[in-house]
Structure formats: C-alpha cells, structure tokens
Amino acid sequence: MRFLYSHRTRSADGQYVHIRELTDALRARGHDIVIAGPDGNGAAKDLNAGGGQWRSALPGALYELAELAYCAPAYWRLREMYSKTRPDIVYQRHNLFFHSGVWLRRAKNIPLMLEVNAPLAEERARHGGLGLEGLARKSEAAIWRGADMVLPVTHVLAAKLRAAGVADEKITVIQNGASEEFLSSHDGGAVRARYNLEGKLILGFSGFVRDWHGVDRVVRAIARLHRPDLHLLLVGDGPARAGLEALARELGIASQLTITGVVQRIEMPDHIAAFDIALQPAVTDYASPLKLFEYMALAKPILAPASANICEVLKDREDAALFAEQNGGDFNAALEALIDDGDLRTRLGAAARASLIRQDLTWAGNARRVETVAKMLLGNNSEGDKA
C-alpha cells in the first residue's frame, strides 16, 4: 500500500522518534510511505532539545490562530502530494487545529487514519495555557470524529475519544513500542566506563526530562539512603535538568547524579543497558511512554506508577515494581526493594522482556496492526464506492 503520512511536527524529540520508527517499520513491510510535513520528506535528523520558539514569541490566542491558519497551506501541500503520488490511505499524526487530513478525506474520498498521542487541548490548557480553549476543544473533537479510524495509544485515551463522540467501532488502541535494536543484545559496560560508574548501582531514566516526570523523588531518595554506591544516570536533557542539578547540590549528592545531555537514537540501547533499575517515577495518565517499552525490551526491572495506563502493559510484582503514585512511602518502599534485591531485579527484568515479546509491543508489531486497519478501511471504501 501507499501511505500518505501527514504530520505537523518540526521538533526533533520523542515525537520525531515515533514518526521515524513507525514509518521505517511500515517500509520494512514493503509499503510505500510519502511524508507530508513541515520539513518535506521526513529525512533523518539528529535529536535535540529545541523547538517551541514561535509559541514563546507569540501571545497564546495569536499563536493558536496561526496554528489554525497553517491548515490552509498544509492542506494544499497535502492535496498536491495526493495528486502526484495517488496514495491508498492517509495516516495523520494528530495535532491541535490540524484539519488538513480531514479536509483531504472529504475532498478525495480517501480513508483517513488518525494517530492520537494525547488530548492536546486538555494537555495545553493544563500545562501550557490556551487563549482559545473552547475553540481548541471543539476543533480537536471535530478532527477526531472526522477520521475513519482513530488510533489512541492507550485505552485511557480511548475513553476520552468516546466522550468526545467518537464511535467505538472507529477506535483501535495501538500502544507505542520498541524497535528491533532494543531487542538485540547490548552491553552497558562502555557507557559505565565513559561516566566513571563502574561498581555503582545505577538508577536510570531516559528521555526529555520535565518537572512532572518526578525524577526529583529519586534524587531525594538517594540523599535519604546515604549509600555512595547509588547513582542516578539521566540519559537525555530537558527543562527540569537545572532544577535536578540544583537539588542534588543542595542535598550534597551532586557526585551521584550524571546527566548526559541529548543522546542520539543509535546510542540509546547501550545507555539503557547500563541501568540496574529503570525509572518511570511519574506518568501522564493517558500516555504510552516510549521509554517503558525500551526498558522492557532490554530486560530492565522497571519502577513505575500503578496508574491505569501503565497497568495496561505491566503487572505489579509480575513484570514490574508498581507503586501508588500519590503515596511517597509506597514509592520509597518499591524503590528500596529493587535496590536491596538483585534476584528481584533479574526476575522482573526478564519477565518484562518476555511480556513485551508476548504482547508484540514493538514498532514492527504496530506496523502490522496499522496495515490490518488500513486493509479493512480500504475494503470498506471499495464497498462504499460500489454502492
């Protein structure tokens, strides 16, 4: 099949990783992928922690109107690419005020699959602020309802789609996943040596770290335990970095914290392989964290909240150590149990990898799921044309 993949992602962060992993997995299955996005054909680029300059430069409502206005040139670009390439199906990564895929679906009667990673109006109202919140919510719900199939990344997020009026039969949950690289054997020894961490028990976190990730809990736990063998390795960067470094200095454990800065994807498996305990100290309640699947693939014992979205993937004491997110004592007890028991770490890590393989929580598996949905939609579309 030929997919016309439409997105509005310019940043080179976790969003870009999702786009690249899925499109590469679809290509590996023999499909032709045509990318329609702000950077052209989706050529590979290095990850970075930048982005968001326009949002910070413009007042909220003005930026949101600019987002809505962007739909017009994006639609005509999408329509031009449709005319040149004649795709079988449109696959769009959802963004706020991004109606281009729905417009093309109506104009050309081509099936539209819509990947939804977050309820963005709700998310931005909560964290970044919205000047036109009512318009944003109505716009988002209209986009969700306008697709032939909506692909939320968790069942928790699927419930939000239903509440916005999306019919059950138009929802297929597809979690994020791990790539084949993470299922291969990796030795974290070189990474330990690079950061002088030989002989340490490494508590690891990967990704762009923000305050709500709760990594400060780990810093405080290390300070409280008075164990010089414990070390927090944060593989990535992000807006919470300076605060974490300041907290570590304040608590007298600056030497027990290493923050690598941005690490490119090719190096990420070796970095996570260096972890003794893999951390997800907090989570947005509807998210499907990419790091979670990568931890699982590399057989790392995972510490994570017992939230509904995490429990869609992991089970406490079977393949992870889960804790009540609002209970600091429960977090500390779960962390200390992993620190103190090497056999527990080994058992949970092996079970996590086995669970990932059993559930096929990989990008290759996701490509198969997308293919299945696309074939179903194309069959329905053909029947509709005949009718």
Based on the fold, state whether residues 165 and 45 are members of the same structural domain: yes
CA distance linking residue 177 with residue 294, whole number of Å: 7
Q: How does pLDDT run along the chain (387 residues), one tens digit per residue?
A: 999 999 998 766 678 889 999 999 999 999 999 999 887 555 444 555 554 544 555 667 888 899 899 999 999 999 999 999 999 999 999 999 999 999 999 999 999 999 999 999 999 898 767 889 999 999 999 999 999 999 999 999 999 999 999 999 999 999 999 999 999 999 999 999 999 999 999 999 999 999 999 999 999 999 999 999 999 999 999 999 999 999 999 999 999 999 999 999 999 999 999 999 999 999 999 999 999 999 999 999 999 999 999 999 999 999 999 999 888 899 999 999 999 999 999 999 999 999 999 999 999 999 999 999 999 999 977 654 543
Based on the fold, state whether residues 150 and 8 are members of the same structural domain: yes
Based on the fold, state whether residues 211 and 146 are members of the same structural domain: no
Per-residue pLDDT at 5? 97
- Point out which residues pair with 202 in neighbouring strands: 231
Contact 9, 95 (CB under 8 A): yes
What pTM was estimated for this model as a whole?
0.92
Based on the fold, state whether residues 330 and 224 are members of the same structural domain: yes
Whole-number Cα distances in Å, 265 to 13, 16, 206, 222, 291: 10, 11, 11, 28, 12
- Domain range for 33 is 2-177+363-386
pLDDT single digits (tens) 329-347: 999 999 999 999 999 999 9
Alpha carbon 119 to its chain centroid, in Å, reads 13
Based on the fold, state whether residues 228 and 286 are members of the same structural domain: yes
Q: Which residue has the tokens 């609002």?
A: 326
Name the domain count of the chain: 2
Based on the fold, state whether residues 260 and 382 are members of the same structural domain: no
Provide the terminal-to-terminal Cα distance of the chain, rounded to the nearest Å.
23
- CATH code, domain with 73: 3.40.50.2000
Based on the fold, state whether residues 342 and 195 are members of the same structural domain: yes
Contact 225, 336 (CB under 8 A): yes
Per-residue pLDDT at 129? 75
Based on the fold, state whether residues 161 and 196 are members of the same structural domain: no
* Amino acid at position 113, single letter: M
Question: Is the torsion defined by CA of 125, 280, 333, 352 positive or negative?
Answer: positive
Based on the fold, state whether residues 190 and 139 are members of the same structural domain: no
pLDDT single digits (tens) 89-103: 999 999 999 999 999
* Amino acid at position 309, single letter: N
Based on the fold, state whether residues 209 and 330 are members of the same structural domain: yes
Based on the fold, state whether residues 99 and 130 are members of the same structural domain: yes
Per-residue pLDDT at 14? 72
Based on the fold, state whether residues 319 and 369 are members of the same structural domain: no
